[in-house]
Amino acid sequence: MGKKSDLSNFERGMVVGARRAGLIISQSAQLLGFSRTTISRVYKEWCAKGKTSSMRQSCGQKCLVDARGQRRMGRLIQIDRRATLTEITTRYNRGMQQSICEATTRTTLRRMGYNSRRPHRVPLISTTNRKKRLQFARAHQNWTVEDWKNVAWSDESRFLLRHSNGRVRIWRKQNENMDPSCLVTTVQAGGGGVMVWGMFSWHTLGPLVPIGHRLNATAYLSIVSDHVHPFMTTMYPSSDGYFQQDNAPCHKARIISNWFLEHDNEFTVLKWPPQSPDLNPIEHLWDVVERELRALDVHPTNLHQLQDAILSIWANISKECFQHLVKSMPRRIKAVLKVKGGQTPY
């Protein structure tokens, strides 16, 4: 009787244990989102062999570029950001026992986080101008959005009838867009197309004036007297407005400076640091116009059509768009302070 009773107790224990295991498997499958079969198989393998990982992870072709090879490829990228896929592959294979193809190079670079992108174009900032940019940022670091609402922004821009396809591409990671080796410096230069001058403030878009010839001091004086003056006196009747302009030669001509001195009781000319398009929010409005031009269903075929399209796009820029740019000014100032007067992402 004793042995039979012990056997019955053992069998009942086995049944209870199996039921508990089945309950655990069901709950685990529901919680993890796997089937009961998968959970049961993993549980049995753990009980028998003490393992929970699948050996299938080691299946497939072995990676041709190991961690050491990735470090080597990363150094090649750092040395020459503009290298093509063919050049990177050729340089990598030098001195290596096992060579790789361009497809393997591309796959490895993507696994490392690199992608081929166009470099950001930024102005070349000299040491002197960097100090001036830093001084400007320090002088205005306490300005709020309410202060920047009193500034009227201005600039000139040229829009081309046809665009060049000669674009440089580099290899970089997602967070390396402002790395010095990933930038292409630009200088102010002329070109074909339509040139316009425009201005805006927090309150409204200002006039957009086509410039039919090279902008000199005489032509700019007409713009200042015919467009800047009425805009500033209308938007800022209390004489608390600031007019922003960059340091183009025609802006600094004597006749322009004398005109501003005669009207300094009506508004103030903001002292602007050189090579600072990243601090001028109107640059982003030019980007808006450029994108809208490229998105036209029917592209302009002559300069007259191009000018009409530019004026139409400018007139339809939303208030939310340019007010959002003014709101970004405190962040722009902080960005200049952070890089001590260097290039910023704006």
* 264-310 per-position pLDDT tens digit: 999 999 999 999 999 999 999 999 999 999 889 888 989 999 999 99
Span 85-103, pLDDT tens digits: 999 999 999 988 888 999 9
pLDDT tens profile 337-346? 999 999 898 8
Same domain, 142 and 13: no
Helix (H, G, I), strand (E, B) or coil at 183: strand
Residues 174 and 73 in one domain: no
The count of structural domains within the chain is 3
Q: Are 32 and 86 found together in one domain? A: no
Which of 71-80, 152-161, 181-190, 222-231 is predicted least confidently?
A: 181-190
Question: Is the model's pLDDT at 190 over the cut of 50?
Answer: no
Q: Mind listing the pLDDT tens digit for each residue in 131-187?
A: 999 999 999 999 999 999 999 999 999 999 876 544 567 878 888 888 888 886 654
Higher pLDDT among residues 213 and 230, named by residue: 230
User: Is residue 123's pLDDT more than 80?
Assistant: no
CATH number at residue 202: 3.30.420.10
pLDDT at 191: 40
Q: Are residues 188 and 152 in the same domain?
A: yes
Residue 61 lies in a domain: no
Determine, yes or no, domain membership for 56. Answer: no
In a domain, 118, yes or no: no
Q: Are residue 17 and residue 42 in the same domain, yes or no?
A: yes
Tell me, yes or no, whether 55 lies in a domain: no
Domain interval for residue 40: 9-49
Environment class of residue 164 by beta-carbon count within 10 Å: exposed (0-12), middle (13-18) or buried (19+)?
Answer: exposed
* Same domain flag for 330 and 224: yes
Look up the pTM and report it.
0.67
Q: What distance in Å separates the CA atoms of residue 306 and residue 299, rounded to the nearest whole number?
A: 8
